[in-house]
Amino acid sequence: MITREPLGVVGAVVPWNYPMMITSWKLGPAIAMGNSIVVKPAENSSSSALKMAELAVAAGLPKGVFNVVPGLGAEAGQALARHMDVAKIAFTGSGPTGRKMMQYAAESNMKQVSLELGGKSPQVVLNDCVDLEAAASAIGWAIYYNAGQTCNAGSRIIVEKGVKEELFAYLHKFLESFVVGNQFDPATQMSGLVSQIQRDRVNSYLDLIGQDGEKVIFGGQKTSGSDLLIKPTLIDNVKPGSRLAQEEIFGPVLVAIDAKDEEEALRLANGTEYGLAASVWTNNIARAHKFARKLRAGTVWINTFDMLDVITPFGGFGASGSGRDKSLHAIDAYSALKTTWVDLN
């Protein structure tokens, strides 16, 4: 007989960019499989997790099933990952911290680890894409939504020869009408970054523009002091091996890379250590599916971007992590398989 059993106590370390949603992705399957969970929220978004736990108890969830331990990652997060009574760590965050989670698990009780880390998601526009205006709008939203502070943000655009001029015209039109401002204004489509630390990180990447022939098409201005609002930025002539093309910026910065043909576009799309998400734009659905099969990405969108559903798994390849959030695949990951043999003689 093959059965699934709860792991026991699950530790979840979640980031600040989508605190309630990502907490839910880990909380739901953990409890559904009979585990208790200890959530370590990001230190600058702890209130949402505390309120969720309060509401869960008010709704009838037994005390001790959903627990929240605020604190700094180096203290509370490390303590949770090293704890001998924690059977699994479910982590969403940066690559360097994800590696530490694996280290802490190995140095303690060899607990299970699932990681949803960063991305440098490519948006590939092939030369037979007909509706370039729709593509430009989706490409813009894919990177500038939440000021680019999204792990699967479409931060690279790879354009096959023949469509770049028209696509860029539509991108410029999109950016001219994109409303940037105060987050409390209902008309605002993009507001500032989460902190001065994050703003300074994005500024450090803007400092790289022009060092290797890069050209600013839109935005590109740094900010300082209390100003956390960096305008949507589009950079052209970016070299595939540059830091701008290889590293996760986590800000409203889109880099453009030219491809002479479909083969080079695929090579460029797969040309980073990440593999979280990707999109491909083409009028040929057969071509799209063939291209999608060759992409090293946990999620691929065809002629769209950022379609998500609770029934579909979310996670990546390579440095984007291991394991999946959401779907029945995630539920399985919060349980242990047991085989029981019975002698019926």
Active site amino acids: 116, 151
Give, for 86, the enclosing helix (H) or strand (E). Answer: none
Report yes or no: 119 and 276 within 8 Å, Cβ to Cβ. yes
Token readout for 212 is 């290797």
Residues in the chain: 345
Nearest CA among 311, 310, 333, 309 for reference residue 321: 333
Q: Decide: helix, strand or coil at residue 92.
A: strand
Report DSSP letters for 208-233, one per residue: TTTTTS-EEEE------TT---PPPE
Token readout for 128 is 């037979």
Token readout for 140 is 């813009």
Give, for 14, the enclosing helix (H) or strand (E). Answer: none
Q: Decide: helix, strand or coil at residue 289.
A: helix
Nearest CA among 302, 245, 254, 242 for reference residue 274: 245
Q: Decide: helix, strand or coil at residue 304.
A: coil
Residue 286 CB neighbours (<10 A): 8
**Amino acid code (one letter) for 194:** V
Report yes or no: 318 and 296 within 8 Å, Cβ to Cβ. yes
Nearest CA among 20, 1, 2, 7 for reference residue 331: 7
| Helix 164-177 × helix 132-144 angle, to 10° | 50
CA 209 – CA 221 distance, rounded (Å): 11
**Cα torsion angle, 34, 40, 45, 46, sign:** positive
